[in-house]
């Protein structure tokens, strides 16, 4: 059985403010919940219609399909809804490649960028304070479990970049051609907002502007989607490490 | 002024069935409409709150903000809504690189794949019959105008691939490493459905399975988003053409 207070809590976690106040977030669906249960994330409660999850009994609350429907944000709820604790921010590693986002706003973009970092062995993702919250349900969903393996930090991006001694790469439309430039195994790769790109103050911190060149006769495309640009940049940086 | 029949027609174009019956589709927003007006697409009607578009007077209908709100599918309608004719399907070119999609269902994915094709100078995109309709409003929106420059064809993908004499590449989790394989300037690159990948019947037509290798110590990520996989593959195929 679900209490009114439980329903109220879960609904409040649908908003960033609620998540920050409670220090918790929601994961839905069998696959997502299983990935988080198998990670370092701490489970607070698991609401499920079937006792199929590997979770401590005292945290599991069996509910009906109708009850799950009531608390789920999905059109087609899938077996369970779990509440996990938002972990404390960990410090970034100091070597290797780091991805940094300057106000990326679309949850699907952040989610697939987290998935890309995971694929390419990037362990740290830095987000400016106006980047969409990684514990937003749509982001969690889009990461397909990769959020459990990536250290996402929200911080003042400008201040952070000022302290960096490593190369700060920025994705621009008018930079060095990534296919023909020397790309190292270390550095921060900055990607900008969907509509406005990298902001001026962050641009000042960029030490190397890089660009993904356009091909074909007609060059009219204005830009690439930020997640696709991240995919291409990570592919190109990481490919070089095979060659070395 | 908007008539009831006009409203009814515009609403019907929100569905694939309506678009197919009428042979028309909707484009919204200043940028999108301008891109289509500057292309070979034929305008049927333009509803706008401001006479800022370069379109034949007899096709332009000035409406109020309230009327635009009534016909728009967007939360924040932007100045205009245009109806264009769906062109006849053109045959594919027979040389160069072609991208083919096997039942890609997400409008955002198809939209950004069309944008990627445009960026990388791919002029032909083949879609299986169950791939999401490229004249779906969300797809049109996500292409950011690139749809005006890409020849998108819907056809029986299996039958199409059977007639191909060129190499058919397929993106799989267990193929040749794309970073270390020889990749030609010609061929069809097939990408599969978001949940199920490339179907068995299409797999039979694939002559070279290729894979984007995972990096890092822990290799747990199940797959990449299909648009990101397309981005990385096109980047890798096209990069080689610079080297040659």
Residue A90 located in a structural domain: no
**Along chain A (244 residues), what's the average pLDDT of each consecutive run of 10 residues?**
92 97 96 94 96 94 95 92 94 86 97 96 96 96 92 96 95 95 95 95 98 82 89 96 70
Residue A92 located in a structural domain: no
Residue B92 located in a structural domain: no
A29 phi and psi angles, rounded to 5 deg: 90, 150
Decide: B77 and B14 in contact? Cβ < 8 Å.
Answer: no
CB of A129 within 8 Å of a chain B CB? The answer is no
Decide: B167 and B102 in contact? Cβ < 8 Å.
Answer: no
Range of the domain at B114: 97-243
What pLDDT score does B185 carry?
92
A135 and A198 in a single domain? The answer is yes
What pLDDT score does A7 carry?
95
B40: domain CATH number is 3.30.1330.30
B142: domain CATH number is 3.40.1280.10
Decide: B167 and B146 in contact? Cβ < 8 Å.
Answer: no
Residue A91 located in a structural domain: no
Last residue of a domain, one of A85, A116, A135: A85
B9 and B34 in a single domain? The answer is yes
A78 and A141 in a single domain? The answer is no
Residue B91 located in a structural domain: no
B114 and B204 in a single domain? The answer is yes
CB atoms within 10 A of CB A95: 10
Residue B14 located in a structural domain: yes
Last residue of a domain, one of A85, A115, A142: A85
A32 and A60 in a single domain? The answer is yes
B113 and B18 in a single domain? The answer is no
B80 and B101 in a single domain? The answer is no
A115 and A210 in a single domain? The answer is yes
Residue B164 located in a structural domain: yes
DSSP codes of every residue in A124-187 = EEEE-TTSPPTTSHHHHHHHTTGGGGSEEEE--HHHHHHT--S-EEEEEEEEEETTTS---S-E
User: What is the pLDDT confidence band of residue B33, given thresholds at 50, 70 and 90?
Assistant: very high
| B228, closest residue in chain A (CA to CA) | A228
Q: B221 vs A146: CB contact, 8 Å cut-off?
A: yes
A217 and A136 in a single domain? The answer is yes
Tokens linked to B230: 């397309």
pLDDT digits (tens, 9 = 90+) for B184-212: 999 999 999 999 999 999 999 999 999 99
Q: How many domains is chain B built from?
A: 2
> Is this prediction's ipTM beyond 0.90?
yes
Residues in a beta bridge with A176? A210
Last residue of a domain, one of B31, B52, B85: B85
A18 and A106 in a single domain? The answer is no
B124 and B170 in a single domain? The answer is yes
Residue A238 burial by Cβ neighbours in a 10 Å radius (0-12, 13-18, 19+):
buried
User: What is the pLDDT confidence band of residue B144, given thresholds at 50, 70 and 90?
Assistant: confident
DSSP codes of every residue in B159-191 = HHHHT--S-EEEEEEEEEETTTS---S-EEEEE
What pLDDT score does B90 carry?
84
Strand order of the sheet with strand A168-177? A151-154, A124-127, A97-101, A187-191, A168-177, A208-211
- Per CB-CB distance under 8 Å, the chain B contacts of A117 are none
Tokens linked to A67: 């009850």
Q: What is the mean pLDDT of residues B38-65?
A: 95
* Interface test mutation site (partner A, options B118, B122, B138, max chain A beta carbons within 10 A): B118
A81 and A190 in a single domain? The answer is no
Say which of B144, B224, B238 has its CB closest to residue A115.
B224
């Amino acid at each position: 059985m679900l209490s009114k207070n439980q329903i109220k809590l879960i609904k409040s976690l649908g908003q960033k403010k609620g998540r920050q106040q409670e220090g918790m977030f929601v994961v839905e669906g069998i696959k997502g919940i299983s990935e988080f249960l198998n990670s370092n994330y701490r489970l607070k409660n698991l609401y499920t219609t079937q006792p199929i999850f590997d979770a401590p009994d005292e945290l599991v609350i069996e509910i009906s399909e109708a009850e799950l429907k009531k608390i789920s944000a999905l059109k087609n709820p899938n077996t369970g809804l779990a509440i996990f604790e938002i972990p404390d921010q960990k410090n970034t590693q100091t070597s290797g490649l780091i991805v940094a986002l300057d106000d990326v706003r679309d949850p699907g973009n952040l989610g697939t960028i987290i998935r890309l970092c995971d694929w390419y062995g990037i362990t740290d993702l830095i987000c400016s304070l106006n980047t969409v919250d990684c514990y937003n349900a749509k982001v969690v969903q889009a990461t397909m479990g990769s959020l459990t393996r990536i250290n996402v930090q929200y911080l003042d991006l400008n201040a952070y970049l000022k302290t960096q001694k490593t190369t700060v790469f920025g994705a621009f439309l008018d930079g060095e051609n990534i296919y023909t430039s020397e790309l190292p195994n270390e550095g921060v790769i900055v990607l900008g907002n969907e509509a406005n790109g990298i902001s001026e103050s962050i641009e000042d911190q960029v030490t190397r502007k890089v660009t993904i060149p356009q091909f074909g006769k007609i060059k009219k495309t204005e830009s690439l989607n930020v997640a696709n640009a991240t995919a291409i940049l990570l592919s190109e940086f990481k490919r070089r490490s095979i060659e070395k």
